Structure 1
């Protein structure tokens, strides 16, 4: 059995690219195929080796918390100040109760192997400080750009066009204490781990869609329909 790790789901952002769809609700409640994005996310990881799940909230946070109040979740409230991914993870650290954690964005649709189980199976704490789940640009529906990372033959990654970050990873949180900013992206933590040659990536083989804008919704629904056939 895989070791279990706590999971941080990022759900606090304003979702401005969604336009009217997020004027009166948070992005995680935007529906794809009649089901809220956050519910798709939780379904994706329902059998993953997760010890506890933390969800950060800010924009329409009470609405999201009400939607999830019947689930076994813990909330990290950022209503006083939106902290971005890095600051949000550092604020939630006492709730996570472990220094090695999964993190997952709440605005993607996945169909394929369990992303968190795959990360757990390949995690090597002796070599890694972060292991990011990656896909090729051809797999990345709803995503623009040429990729985020170059993946070498040893599994290490560096900045550059190539693979796309999926929004799922496992990482050590100790490096967060070295960052002085209050609100900051996890990119700063990755840069620290890259300098010490402990930043790794793993290719995920399934179907994936970034639902960050309204035009991505039908693309995501195509994935769900194709996988239900």
Structure 2
């Protein structure tokens, strides 16, 4: 797989921590040239330094996926630096846990803006480049929360299932020159839980994460598998979760 990934130019949102960080580091190890985005410059700089220290090639761009212009700047950084973009990985997201009748409308807006609109903005930034190149690959990080609906995760799962739907719709609309893959992780040990504001619910998620959670590199390996396939093969959907997860 290293040969297929080496020298690919890959943009990644939410790359300052967790799954996005692991994806960036692993891809760089395989020889990819990564363009990493995150809202926090300090975390981006830390990830970039880790990649550079290991001999990898990286460009960092402060990126808030709620802002269309930030996604355009991320893609532009890839094209201006390397002359092309091969893969767009829409990974950034937030999780707020609450019952729907608690009416945490601001939290709903945050998830819709980050998890759904942020993915659409990432796709909108990359697709014109891919069309011009007549080649490209979109990876959307989804979630198993959309596969098994449970109380307190309704709106979060709703945003993730919306991404699942638009991923499949784009797959059908594409003529094959632009491939698209949805990857749905289960419990993964990341700091995504820090966005859960209710302390009791946050502790419940933390306990489940510590008991079951995969290392983020497991998701990175799924990404590498998807993008290392020959151009005439599209991996449409990957579900990766702990074997003990319900």
Bucket of the pairwise TM-score, normalised by the shorter protein: 0.3 to 0.5
Specify which structure has the higher proportion of strand. Answer: 1
Bigger share in helix:
2
Give TM-score scaled by structure 2 length. Answer: 0.41
